């Protein structure tokens, strides 16, 4: 890879994994943008301690949804101001001593206004197909945000345990409860549609590739297991650490791709 995407050289690529790696590198870039990840606002099932289901937001969840839209709107404008400052200080061709020479590819990725200044980048908001996730994004203005619902972002399906509390699961299926506690990563809930963490990891591959490829800002309004998988991927954690990653309600994570890694900020809002 030359100049982070200006030129890619590949030779004798054979097999699925090698082809997928080349596809990833062809779409890899360091265009300035932000990736935001959060769980939905508190739902009625969260209050009752139930897992799965398709409940609506609680009053506290709606307060979080309003705060989320307001906070992201402020951060979007702040990012654009930082970008304008950075572009105004860049030089083409680079000057002696520049530590981060400008990349014309990035500058050309922006539409310009009448004064030749870059317009704000497009901002995508992706939710799952479940009500608590969709309702969390209700306060985003569709004129400013590209809002999309994706089934791949749905929470892990708990099969026969959907809508139950963990105490009820332990009382009804003590063997299943013990099996899950022993290996949460590989345990698959019994019943129609039941999934494991590994199943969720597999269905999120397409989402991750698309997030890596796109140059727009994106907010993913997801669920606990989905947020754990996404954060584990972007932070480079081991697969064995996914199931124990702490992702509380009311917390918003921001990842900003930089030259060597991701800048990560997590902050509770509300």
- For residues 32 and 182, which has the higher predicted lDDT (pLDDT)? 182
Say what percent of the chain tops pLDDT 90.
Answer: 60
Two tokens, residue 243: 């199931």
Known catalytic residue: 14? no
Place of tokens 């980048």: 121
d(C-alpha 266, C-alpha 186), whole Å: 28
For the cut 70, the answer to whether the pLDDT of residue 270 exceeds it is no
Say what percent of the chain tops pLDDT 70.
Answer: 81
Nearest alpha-carbon partner for 184 in 136, 104, 241, 264: 241
Q: Sorting pLDDT into bands at 50, 70 and 90, what band is 25?
A: confident
Known catalytic residue: 63? no
Alpha helices in 194-260 (DSSP H): 197-203, 205-213, 224-235
3-state helix, strand, coil in the chain (%, to 5): 40, 15, 40
69-127 pLDDT tens trace: 999 999 988 887 877 777 666 666 666 666 555 555 555 555 555 665 556 678 999 99
pLDDT value of position 171: 95
> What's the distance, Cα to Cα, between the start and end of the chain in Å?
43
- For residues 98 and 199, which has the higher predicted lDDT (pLDDT)? 199
Known catalytic residue: 46? yes
Alpha helices in 35-140 (DSSP H): 44-48, 59-88, 104-108, 131-136
Provide the whole-model pTM: 0.83
Nearest alpha-carbon partner for 257 in 27, 29, 86: 29
The mean-pLDDT minimum among 33-42, 58-67, 85-94, 167-176 falls in: 85-94
Q: Which of 29, 33, 46, 217 is catalytic?
A: 46
Known catalytic residue: 155? yes
Q: Sorting pLDDT into bands at 50, 70 and 90, what band is 6?
A: confident
Q: Which of 33, 42, 103, 132 is catalytic?
A: 132
pLDDT value of position 264: 53
215-262 pLDDT tens trace: 889 999 999 999 999 999 998 899 889 999 999 999 999 998 765 444
């Amino acid at each position: 890879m030359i100049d982070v995407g200006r030129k890619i050289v590949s030779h004798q690529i054979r097999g699925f994994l090698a082809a997928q790696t080349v596809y990833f590198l062809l779409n890899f870039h360091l265009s300035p943008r932000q990736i935001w990840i959060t769980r939905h606002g508190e739902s009625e099932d969260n209050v009752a301690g139930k897992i799965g289901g398709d409940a609506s937001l609680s009053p506290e969840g709606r307060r979080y949804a309003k705060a989320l839209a307001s906070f992201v709107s402020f951060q979007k404008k702040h990012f654009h101001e930082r970008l304008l400052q950075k572009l105004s200080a860049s030089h083409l061709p680079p000057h002696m001593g520049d530590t981060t020479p400008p990349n014309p590819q990035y500058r050309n990725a922006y539409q310009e206004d009448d004064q030749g200044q870059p317009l704000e980048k497009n901002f995508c908001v992706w939710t799952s197909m479940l009500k608590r996730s969709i309702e969390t994004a209700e306060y985003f203005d569709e004129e400013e945000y590209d809002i999309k619902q994706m089934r791949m972002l749905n929470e892990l399906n708990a099969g026969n345990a959907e809508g139950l509390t963990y105490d009820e699961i332990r009382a009804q299926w003590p063997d299943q409860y013990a099996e899950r506690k022993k290996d949460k990563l590989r345990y698959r809930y019994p019943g129609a549609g039941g999934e494991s963490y590994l199943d969720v990891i597999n269905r999120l591959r397409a989402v991750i590739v698309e997030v890596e490829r796109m140059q727009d800002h994106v907010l993913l309004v997801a669920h606990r297991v989905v947020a754990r998988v996404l954060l584990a991927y972007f932070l480079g954690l081991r697969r064995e650490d996914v199931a124990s990653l702490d992702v509380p309600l009311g917390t918003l994570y921001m990842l900003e791709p930089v030259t060597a890694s991701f800048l990560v900020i997590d902050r509770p809002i509300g």
